[in-house]
């Protein structure tokens, strides 16, 4: 695998297996507001565009449902309290990030998860190894717009040349394309290989240590 100067990672489905905690908070919010719950595999299909889009897909009628904002607020409160219940790094993630850091590589996380949760999870699991962690913010367009990745590069003091984006979804593929940087798709995340190929993926890894 080619070495890069800068590695920018998606979070959910790429570095962290967050699915069960996301599903638990989704169903808690739905249950609280009298809505039908979803099996975990449905929630897997809902994730990838931020938690508001997750809830829009989970709530009957989406944004048009008069209880949507209340359910979304309940989800956010519950998830901030329970985001560490079962979430863990995927196998090899911590070791590889530490090795990239040892080699002097720039490391960032760019997620469509809301900002506070992105920051908390990165601090908890990766400490100072992840230099920059950017989540969804009101004043900057989220992925697949290039803005959050370009902001990460700015904070790192790094150029697009020598940078790579690593993710598990079609959103990540489009984000990398919009940033004009290569994308590596992981095969352990929330989307399978056939889905990724259908959406234009050409470079894959099946284990985190293949980045090395």
pTM of the model: 0.92
pLDDT digits (tens, 9 = 90+) for 10-64: 999 999 999 999 999 999 999 999 999 999 999 999 987 788 899 999 999 999 9
pLDDT at 13: 95
pLDDT digits (tens, 9 = 90+) for 119-145: 999 999 999 999 999 998 878 899 999
Buried b (16+ CB within 10 A) or exposed e, 74-105: bbbebbeeebeeebebbebbbebbebbbeeeb
What average pLDDT does the chain have? 95
Q: What is the number of other CB atoms lying within 10 angstroms of the CB of residue 198?
A: 11
pLDDT at 79: 92
Q: What is the number of other CB atoms lying within 10 angstroms of the CB of residue 1?
A: 11
Where does the pLDDT of residue 78 fall: very low under 50, low under 70, confident under 90, or very high at 90 and above? very high
pLDDT at 135: 92
């Amino acid at each position: 695998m080619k070495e890069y100067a800068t590695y920018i990672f998606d979070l959910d489905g790429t570095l962290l297996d967050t699915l069960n905690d996301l599903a638990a908070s989704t169903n808690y919010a739905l249950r609280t507001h009298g809505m039908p719950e979803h099996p975990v595999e449905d929630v897997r299909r809902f994730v990838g565009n931020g938690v508001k889009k997750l809830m829009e897909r989970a709530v009957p009628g989406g944004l048009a449902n008069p209880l949507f904002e209340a359910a979304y607020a309940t989800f956010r409160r519950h998830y901030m309290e329970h985001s560490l219940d079962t979430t863990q790094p995927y196998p090899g993630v911590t070791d590889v990030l530490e090795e990239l850091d040892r080699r002097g590589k720039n490391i960032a996380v760019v997620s469509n998860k809301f900002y506070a949760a992105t920051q908390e999870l990165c601090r908890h699991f990766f400490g100072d190894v992840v230099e920059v962690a950017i989540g969804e913010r009101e004043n900057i367009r989220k992925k697949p717009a290039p803005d959050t990745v370009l902001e990460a590069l700015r904070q790192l003091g790094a150029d697009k040349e020598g940078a790579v984006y690593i993710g598990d979804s079609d959103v990540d593929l489009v984000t990398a394309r919009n940033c004009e940087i290569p994308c590596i798709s992981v095969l352990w995340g929330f989307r399978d290989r056939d889905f990724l190929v259908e959406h234009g993926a050409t470079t894959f890894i099946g284990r985190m240590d293949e980045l090395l």
